Amino acid sequence: GAVVSQHPSRVICKSGTSVKIECRSLDFQATTMFWYRQFPKQSLMLMATSNEGSKATYEQGVEKDKFLINHASLTLSTLTVTSAHPEDSSFYICSARDWSSSYEQYFGPGTRLTVT
């Protein structure tokens, strides 16, 4: 099956610093990638949808200047959390859609961010 990787799997950073999370589709091309955030015991909340070569579409309430998304190639999207605060601590999960499939969407293993 299709594989999506995320790096890093865990990161601890200090308040005010920036953190970059990478999402890669390893064996398929992903024209569209999605970034989700999940707080403990809550469901996944879509943050933004990114299409290769174009600007990401952010969900209402998600600050695009704080959560920078770049989808520069068909296999890589990055999420940068800028000027991180403790309330940004969460589980960040990306998913990628296989362009050749009408519906399949594959999830990465997630990145746990802790801001101290």
Is residue 103 within the footprint of other proteins (CB under 8 A)?
yes
Instruction: Give the gyration radius of the chain's Cα atoms.
Output: 13
Is residue 112 within the footprint of other proteins (CB under 8 A)?
yes
Is residue 99 within the footprint of other proteins (CB under 8 A)?
no
**Site residues (CB under 8 A) for other proteins, limited to 14-33:** 32
The 3 state secondary structure assigned to the chain is CCCEEEECCEEEECCCCCEEEEEEECCCCEEEEEEEEECCCCCCEEEEEEECCCCCEECCCCCCCCEEEEEEECCEEEEEECCCCHHHCEEEEEEEEECCCCCCEEECCCEEEEEC
The count of chain residues that interact with other proteins, using the rule CB under 8 A, is 21
Is residue 42 within the footprint of other proteins (CB under 8 A)?
yes
Per-residue binding string, other proteins, 56-95, x by CB under 8 A, is: -----------------------------------x-x-x
Q: Name which of 15 and 42 has its Cβ closer to other proteins.
A: 42
* Nearest distance from C-beta of residue 23 to other proteins, angstroms: 11
Contact 35, 50 (CB under 8 A): yes
Interface residue list for other proteins (CB under 8 A)? 32, 34, 36, 42-46, 49, 91, 93, 95, 103-110, 112
